[in-house]
Chains A and B, each alone.
Chain A
Amino acid sequence: MAIIETKNLSRLYQDGDHIIHAVDKVNLEIEAGEFTAIVGPSGSGKTTLLNLIGGLDSPTEGEVIVDGKAIHKLKDNALINFRLQHIGFVFQAYNLIPVLSAQENVEFIMLLQNASARERKTRAQELLKAVGLEAQMHKRPAELSGGQQQRVAVARALASKPSFVLADEPTANLDSKSTEDLLDIMHKLNQEEGITFIFSTHDQRVIDRASRIIYVEDGQIKENH
């Protein structure tokens, strides 16, 4: 069963007299356990599509159904709560909370879910161990390298036990070694624990690891295999 489904999904923007079709009548289904890369040139609509799937943006037309729920119909607070419970996010610029340690950053999401202190601590430590950061748990983001920060971001994204993880150009700011390490971790989590990852990327190394590639151009899906 598809965990994500879009039906005639469109997002239009007004730019002066022009209407831009950032996403244009996209029909898409993503199954659980996929390791999907959304690729395409700059301005093709990759990020807008990811924003719509993640409930961060509202469609002009069409539907977004996640875990059987039509999220485009949800009100603001309900949508925020839905994101918290169902979707993990990894950002290009890591976006960790600078005043919290790596472990606290991971625990933060569980705190928002009202998890117990013991559960938070155990899971945060497990996740940080899974991404190879058991020695850096108590360091703040400024004390970590870019690759390490992005691994914390992956651990944080998984902390809420989401249905899937959306990652926007997660390797864009990383060097080759860090990119390989991060991809290894995410691929392992996908293979061994069945976690669904959906990336937007330009990076050929990410594309090479993907189980499915969706090519987007001018807001439309041109290839899907």
Chain B
Amino acid sequence: MKTVFKIAWRNIWRNKLRSAVVVCSIFLGIWAGIFVSAFSFGLNEQRKESMIRNQISHIQIHNSTWLDQKEVAYTFSATAVDDYLNKDPRLKAYATRSKASGMVSSAHYSGAAQIIGVNPNAEAALSNLEEKLTEGEYFPEKGRNPVLIGRALAKKLEAKIGSRIILNFSDGQGNIISSAFKVKGLYKDVSSKMEELNLYVRQSDLQTLLGLESVQVHEIAALLKEDADIEILQQELQANFPALAIQSWKQISPELAYADEIMTQMLYIIIGIIMLALSFGIINTMLMAVLERRKELGMLMCVGMSRTKVFSMIMVETFYLALLGGPLGILFAYYSVWQGSKSGLDLAAFSDGLATYGIDSVIYPALPTSFYWGTTLLVFIMTLLAAIYPARRALKLNPVETLRTI
């Protein structure tokens, strides 16, 4: 077999240009495939993290009726849950929220609004609401009824820092409440729709207006340190508080969970398509090599080289080509992804479009290590399959026909 390997190695360098083109195409194909996959994976991860951090958290707790009928009356007492969560070391942060649906209006505009009452300190630890402020202050201690509104809404309301806006909503008894709030901050969200809809007020202010006690809340949102603990904690909470609806982020946002689940499969499909295209290039090249060397291969069989060895030689030649380009492509892709994950890819030109989908304009490519191993295995399988056809063609050569004469 040593001779087979030696001849195969020299054979692939007979036509240096052709072999170099094939090796380069394998290298570039695999590199591009992995990098595109890393870009997609990173983008999806960022979207998921952004959604979890900005909107849904890892776990949400509600009055079970509130899930179907989001009415002010469906609150629950936070005391017991608060005690439970406060002692749990697996939690990174959690916060209670009160919510009301209503209208926001100014002299220039009136529209639907989701009024969210937050505990400023707990909310700052849980979500990045404070970091999203582009103007103003994050719930200053002085002053009555502060409100944080999105930039898009501020534009429609023609409101600035210090402007008064009116919030209308109904309380638990169905009475219409109308109250003036003072704009203390403008925030930028990943989505302009979110900026238009969500207004943040102090939870205590909202509870007072709704006629709720301070322990009566609509929602507790929690963020965990480790993803692996999410379902465990969810089950524990459900067991301890069976009357409440305990949901993980996957239940709160099934489309996000589905996108997360199919992402890995999508990546393998991407890389699989690229490899399929590459394998045809390899088959073509090796087929040309076999047909060009028909006479020589026939001679080898004439003088006593077994068909198995001829078959092996063509297989080895194919492997050499793939093994030169494949690992090089994987290593270079690994380096590119590593670099990209540090500096990020700034897609500022598309920031508006990306923001609509809740994605930041700087994308950080990322890939699980298992994907690199999976790709290596795919390269191996692809090469094996691509090598078989040319090798079989060599196997079927008739020595006499190839030589015409002995």
Contact = CB atoms under 8 A, between A and B. Distances in A.
A97 B303 CA distance: 12
Interface in A82-121: 83-85, 89, 91-93, 95, 97-100, 108-109, 111-113
Contacts of A80: 301, 304-307
B296 interface: yes
B400 interface: yes
A81 interface: yes
Contacts of A84: 303-304
B175 interface: no
Nearest to B10: A99
A109 B10 contact: no
B403 A95 contact: yes
Contacts of A47: 405-406
Interface stretch (A50-58, A130-138, A179-187, A204-212): A50-58
A83 B295 CA distance: 18
Contacts of A54: 302, 406
B91 to A, nearest CB: 67
Interface of B is mostly: helix
A63 interface: no
B299 interface: yes
Contact of B7 (A89, A97, A166): A97
Given A81-B304, A95-B296, A111 B406 contact: no
Given A47-B405, A97-B296, A89 B303 contact: yes
A24 B12 CA distance: 44
> Most B CB atoms within 10 A — which of A97, A113, A156, A169?
A97
Contacts of B69: none
Contacts of A156: 303
B305 A112 contact: yes
Nearest to B299: A95
A98 B14 contact: yes
Contacts of B302: 54, 56, 83, 89
A193 interface: no
B3 to A, nearest CB: 5
Interface of A: 47, 50-51, 54, 56-57, 76-77, 80-81, 83-85, 89, 91-93, 95, 97-100, 108-109, 111-113, 156, 160, 166, 168-169
Interface of B: 3, 7, 10-11, 13-14, 295-296, 299-307, 309, 399-400, 403, 405-406
Given A47-B406, A81-B306, A95-B296, 18 more contacts: A51-B400, A51-B405, A77-B306, A81-B304, A83-B303, A84-B303, A84-B304, A85-B304, A89-B302, A93-B295, A99-B7, A99-B10, A99-B11, A99-B13, A112-B303, A112-B304, A113-B304, A166-B406
